[in-house]
Amino acid sequence: MSDFPVIPVGDVLLVSIQGELHDALAVRLQESVTTAVQRRSARGVIIDISAVDMVDSYLGRILAEIAGCSRLLGADTVVVGMRPAVAITLVELGLTLPELRTARTVTDAAAVLGVAMPITDTASSGADRRGAR
Amino acid sequence: MTTGPTAAALRLQIRSDTDLSLVRQQVRAKAQEAGFGLVQQTKVVTAASELARNTLVHGGGGEMELAEVAQGGTRGLRLSFIDSGPGMADVDQALTDGYTSGNGLGLGLGGARRLVQDFQIDTRPGAGTTVTITAWAQSLGSAVHR
């Protein structure tokens, strides 16, 4: 049912958003992640947005709602890999999303969540590649 | 080089959320062509996404008109979002952060204005809404701070 790889790693779900996310897909993302949190008894969710070139108020709200739903189910959410241009734009837009926790890399996010992260190479590679450019 | 047939205004329908994706893609492509830097591109694409969503959600659908503009040696994009929906009675209120007539965050209109250099709104109750923004390849400050 999902267009998004929701990868369980230990107690955490890794979600990598790829490419253009139109509104209906964003809603499906929210359902996929929330369902997976319950099914996998996840303690944390890490959402990698390093491939996302624009976050508007709609997508920002979806990310905040995913974090809110996961929180109700007992899992914390950390968003990683936001591009600098996206961060600048969000602040000017007035959308600072204080309720959304962020980290630079998947490894940092795992530390924020206080969980062991046995495998991080694949999911953090997007952010790392970008940093190296 | 911006004269001639290639400079003709481009019109895109805004009837569904997949149209919003097409709007973003077209605005991104034209901003890149016009020499916008990455931050300026991201700002104008985000502003376009907010305004196109307003056209769809509050205006009941409509269209975007995209034209390249130039001033001195600077290139820019002028985008108009046109609907024939219910229009707005109080523009100042609609531009206030947190005000929403729908279920959004109420940041769309005021937020979009902060992301571009020029912002015009033409609306009357019952007469639809046209929002026109202009963004330049080089940052000249936002429509709010000037």
Hey, what domains does chain B have and what are their CATH numbers? 11-136 (3.30.565.10)
A vs B: CB pairs below 8 A: 72
Q: What confidence score (pLDDT) does residue A128 get?
A: 45
Domain contains A101: yes
- Asked whether the predicted pLDDT for residue A42 surpasses 70, the reply is yes
Distances (CA, A) of A77 to A15, A46, A98, B17: 11, 6, 13, 26
Q: How far apart are CA B90 and CA B93, in angstroms?
A: 5
Domain containing A80 equals: 6-116
For residue A44, give how far its alpha carbon lies from the nearest alpha carbon of chain B (Å): 26
Domain containing A41 — which CATH number? Answer: 3.30.750.24
Distance CA A44, CA A39 (A): 13
Is A128 inside any structural domain? no
What's the confidence (pLDDT) of residue B20?
Answer: 95
Residue A38 lies inside a defined structural domain of this protein:
yes
Could you read off the pLDDT of B4-33 as tens digits, one per residue? 334 568 999 999 989 999 999 999 999 999
| Residues in chain B closer than 8 A to A93 (CB atoms) | 46, 50, 107, 111-112, 114-115
DSSP A24: H
Q: How many domains does chain A have?
A: 1
- φ/ψ bin of A19: left (φ > 0), alpha (ψ from -120 to 50), beta (otherwise): left
Q: Is B57 on the interface with A (CB under 8 A)?
A: no
Predicted ipTM beyond 0.90: no
**Contact flag A92-B142 (C-beta cutoff 8 Å):** yes
Q: A92 and chain B: CB distance < 8 Å anywhere?
A: yes
Q: What is the pLDDT of residue B54?
A: 92
Q: Does a structural domain hold residue A130?
A: no
User: Is residue A73 one of the residues assigned to a domain?
Assistant: yes
pLDDT digits (tens, 9 = 90+) for B75-122: 999 999 999 998 888 888 777 776 665 555 556 788 899 999 999 999
pLDDT band at A99 (very low <50, low <70, confident <90, very high): confident
Give buried/exposed letters for B108-129 (b at 16+ CB in 10 A, else e): bbbbbbbbbbbbebebeeeebb
The residue assigned the tokens 């491939």 is A51
Q: How far is B45 from chain A (nearest CA, A)?
A: 7
